[in-house]
Structure 1
Amino acid sequence: MSTAPADFDALMAEVMAGAERFGHREHVHLTWLAVRRVGTVAAVGLVGGGIQRTARYANVPQKYHATMSRAWVELVGHHAAERGEEDFGVFVGRHPALLDKRLLTRFYRPATLASPPARNGWVAPDLAPFPWQDASRAG
């Protein structure tokens, strides 16, 4: 599925309609909306591309982080698939860990996230597997 900058802009407008600033909660909300509208795989490109364009436009392209962007989309997508909540408040009420900006440190070493390969492309977790990866090993 192709995603356009207008798709990201529409999601951003929806999230910001009730927000004073774009903080972590709004980032998770935007990601949740994207996952619900286009699925997790397409949301990786939609959210990542939108954040990257926004950072370039704001003249801070170094703020875009490829691994963090994809990891957050995949985490939100994993939890969104569990019950399919229709309300964002209900969703984060059931998954409060997603509101913790430091959540990725459960899966990645700080040095890994700080590395150029992680900033510029996908790097798999090196501290602990994601929940869906761990579940595939249980049994």
Structure 2
Amino acid sequence: MLPHASLSALSAYRDGLRRLAADMGLSGKYHETLTVTWVMLVLERLSGSREEPWEAFIARHPDLLDAHLPERHYPPEVLYGPEARTTFLPPTL
């Protein structure tokens, strides 16, 4: 289970991303499973130090810049299926 602060960060990120998509006329582009997965992967790698500069953090975790990273955790038919777009599905791989 995620700590309260992490849940708050996830909620704020999701809300902001949904608003941004709506403001841009791209509400249909929002993908719940991809969004939650990316946030969880970042939180997992933070490992306690949230004061580290972005450049140092991403230098230690360059895989976070790989657009295909979520595919390591989901079969394509699940990750890109219609249910994953609207509902967070837990990783299966």
Q: Give me the whole-angstrom Cα distance separating, in 2, the residues matched to 1:68 and 1:108.
A: 10
Say if 2:72 is the partner of 1:106. Answer: yes
Distance 1:71 1:87 in 2: 22
1:58-137 correspondence to structure 2 within 5 Å: 58-81=24-47, 83-126=49-92, 128=93
Write the distance in 2 (CA, Å) between the matches of 1:117 and 1:46.
22
CA deviation after TM superposition for structure 1 residue 85, in Å: 4.9
State the alpha-carbon separation in 1 of the partners of residues 84 and 27 from structure 2. Answer: 15
* % identity of equivalent residues: 33
In structure 2, what is the Cα distance between the partners aligned to 1:61 and 1:112? Answer: 21
Bigger Rg over Cα: 1
Measure how far apart 1:113 and its partner are.
Answer: 1.3
Higher RCO, 1 vs 2 (CA within 8 Å, ≥6 residues apart): 2
Structure 1 segments, 4+ long, off by >3 Å, are 82-85
| Alpha carbons 1:85, 1:91 under 8 Å: kept | no
TM, length-normalised to structure 1: 0.60
Q: CA–CA distance in 2 between the matches of 1:85 and 1:102?
A: 27
TM-score (norm 2): 0.87
Distance 2:37 2:9 in 1: 11
User: CA RMSD of the aligned region, Å?
Assistant: 1.6
- Gaps (5+ residues) in structure 1? 1-37, 129-139
AA aligned opposite 1:96: P
Shift of 1:39: 3.1
Structure 2 gaps, min length 5 = none
Query: Which residue type is aligned with residue 5 of structure 2?
Result: G
> When the two structures are aligned, how many residues end up with a matched partner?
90
Distance 2:6 2:67 in 1: 20
